[in-house]
Amino acid sequence: MSANLSPAARRGLSTDVRPSREEAEAAVRTLIAWAGDNPAREGLIETPKRVVKAYEEFFAGYDEDPIAILSKSFEETDGYDEMVLVRDIRLDSHCEHHIVPIVGRIHIAYLPRDRVVGISKLARVADIYARRLQIQEKLTAQIANCLESVLKPRGVAVLVEASHQCMTTRGIRKIDADTVTTRFLGEFRDDQHLCNQFLKLTGNG
């Protein structure tokens, strides 16, 4: 797959499928009316613009390429080959089934082979995938698979802990329920001691 393709093209989308801002705002007005309120009243008249602007922030990940974020790496490590772990990365995403928040934490680790990447880039990759409509399982896999594909490390570990408002504020309303997902690749999958070390360092062991 060409690195020159846009994120939309990578997903098999053309750039002309995105509605205009005016169409998006009209859709918000329709939802307000459907909910039983008057989109033309004073308190709501600017709401469609605000919602569309908020969506630009919530779903900014569709316009960013996580592969490009990881493209710059460094060889000057003095032979460092142990685990690199960034834990407690804030997760703010939205459930693709109900478009309500998923809030939690992401822990990412990798075992460098020859090169390392700036640690902020790990959080940036997580954020790009999170700022798309998601399910937690797919989010976890996407982060791990991207790191493995680009960095080609000896191993990757990703653990996501999150609360889903589609479960806590509606439906069965289990307010204390959290969901934990993991993906272990390479040596993290093959070496139980290494896997346990990762879990312990993230407070899950």
What residues are annotated to the active site?
A: 95-98, 136, 164, 166
Question: Is position 98 annotated in a ligand binding site?
Answer: yes
**Residue showing tokens 């790191």:** 147
Which 3 state secondary structure label does DSSP give 143?
helix
Question: Is position 166 annotated in a ligand binding site?
Answer: yes
Question: Is position 107 annotated in a ligand binding site?
Answer: no
Single out the residue of 141, 81, 62 nearest to residue 108, CA to CA.
Answer: 141
Chain center to CA of 140? 8
CA pair distance 86, 71, nearest whole angstrom: 18
Which 3 state secondary structure label does DSSP give 107?
strand
| Apex 63 CA angle, 58 and 65, nearest 5 | 115
User: What CA dihedral angle connects 41, 44, 46 and 49, to 10 degrees?
Assistant: -140
Contact of 27 with 96, CB cutoff 8 Å: no
Contact of 92 with 123, CB cutoff 8 Å: no
Provide the annotated binding site for Zn(2+). Answer: 95, 98, 166
Provide the annotated binding site. Answer: 95, 98, 166
